[in-house]
Amino acid sequence: MRKHLKHIYLSLALIMLSGTMANAQLRTTISAMRWGADYKLHVRMANDSAYVLDVKGLYHTGDDLFADTTNPTTTYYPVQLDPDFVAHIKRTNLSASEQTQPAESSDRTLWSAIHARIGGGYVHFVNCLVYTLEAQPALLNEPIFERPVTKWKPKPMTQSYKRTRKWAYYYPSTQKAAKREYKLRLKENDLADLHGVPPRFIELFLRTSQSAYEKLRKQGKANQVAQIDLVRLLLGAKYLGEAQIRTMSNGVAEAVLRYSSNTMPSIIIFDDYHAAVAMSLGRDGYRIDRIVYADSEQASRHELDGRTQMIEQLIRTINEANEQVFRKRLQQYYQRKRK
């Protein structure tokens, strides 16, 4: 009996140790960060990996301290996922993976299906979709997304059939088809599916031709391709069936479960504060990991502390505003039944 208990205690200890090691692996954090005279950021991680980042190439943002909560858009920062958020999704999907399909209520829209898997607000939805499309570039070309070749026509002819009958997939998979759908939806004031998508994603989509899109793919610019694909996918979101929605939801869950935080940190440049802010996206929104200032040697400690408080307040305000937008969107659009 004692021998049996000893084996149980040993097994529990090994499980706890492996969990601790896995959590420690997830928690690769910044150990040092400085703003060099060469207009580059020098970053060292806790695992001793080092990065030199050109500030000009990083994401820049201005002063948005007084976020407009009545605006139906979401403030989006391209940041990596917080280790605790990834761990939460992994724990959640341990039970979800045992189910053959998600709950019926979550199949109605792409938003609700993915939200059921990862939680969070709309910014989590956009962030994880972009990451998934970047990590799995062939996902949208899977056979499940292809429209069947058929001579069937609805009687009477529906508007959705007229608009999608020439599509090879259940979403507009070419720039020509996607831009046509965008212009029609813009004219009809029916772009709710794109509310919350960063304007720069839409601007990139609109100025990119099909040949330019193919060039981006060949050049390996996966992030820009993923941003364009996100716009295409969401333009076709209301035409997706449950099978396509489920495939996309499973793809997001799979991508996030393979996510590793042992990557280059996400740093946002706050130009109005002369600050570089290392950030991540957690369960409750954006989280600040570290702040360094370009003029730290010239500015007083009092001034720098004041700026830090303002940046922290800014992120709190943005998280609160994003949550309000998310709640409004839930009530007004994403919880409605599919027609």
Angle between helices 199-207 and 222-235 (to 10 degrees): 90
> 253 with 309, same domain?
no
Residue that terminates a domain, selected from 260, 286, 306 = 260
Q: How many domains does the chain have?
A: 2
> 77 with 153, same domain?
no
Range of the domain at 290: 2-82+261-326
Strands (E), 55-142: 59-61, 80-81
CB of 329 within 8 A of CB of 196? Answer: yes
Task: Say whether 30 sits in a helix, a strand or coil.
Answer: strand
Report residue 200 as tokens.
């720069």
Which residues, 6 or more positions from 338, have their beta carbon under 8 angstroms from its beta carbon?
108, 109
Q: Output the CA–CA distances (angstroms, integers) from residue 87 to 20, 118, 261, in the order listed.
A: 12, 11, 11
> 249 with 289, same domain?
no
Tell whether 89 is covered by a domain. Answer: yes
pTM (2 d.p.): 0.79
SS3 content of the chain, % helix, strand, coil (to 5): 55, 15, 30
**Per-residue pLDDT tens digits for 24-73:** 333 447 888 998 878 888 998 888 888 888 888 888 887 555 555 555 56
> 130 with 247, same domain?
yes
Tell whether 339 is covered by a domain. Answer: no
> What's residue 338's pLDDT?
44
Side-chain half-sphere CA neighbours of 37 within 13 A: 2
Tell whether 331 is covered by a domain. Answer: no
> 223 with 278, same domain?
no
Residue that terminates a domain, selected from 215, 242, 260 = 260
> 266 with 253, same domain?
no
Tell whether 338 is covered by a domain. Answer: no
> 273 with 171, same domain?
no
Q: What is d(CA 323, CA 125) in angstroms, rounded to the nearest whole number?
A: 13
Tell whether 214 is covered by a domain. Answer: yes
**Per-residue pLDDT tens digits for 75-111:** 888 888 888 888 888 887 655 554 544 445 566 788 8
Positions in the chain short of pLDDT 50: 1-28, 98, 100-103, 334-339
> What's residue 174's pLDDT?
96
Q: How many C-beta atoms lie closer than 10 Å to residue 221's C-beta?
A: 13
> 193 with 311, same domain?
no
> 176 with 267, same domain?
no
Tell whether 245 is covered by a domain. Answer: yes
> What's residue 331's pLDDT?
64
Tell whether 111 is covered by a domain. Answer: yes
> 165 with 65, same domain?
no
**Residue written as token pair 């007083």:** 300
> 44 with 139, same domain?
no
> 94 with 241, same domain?
yes
Tell whether 185 is covered by a domain. Answer: yes
Residue that terminates a domain, selected from 217, 235, 260 = 260
> What's residue 108's pLDDT?
76
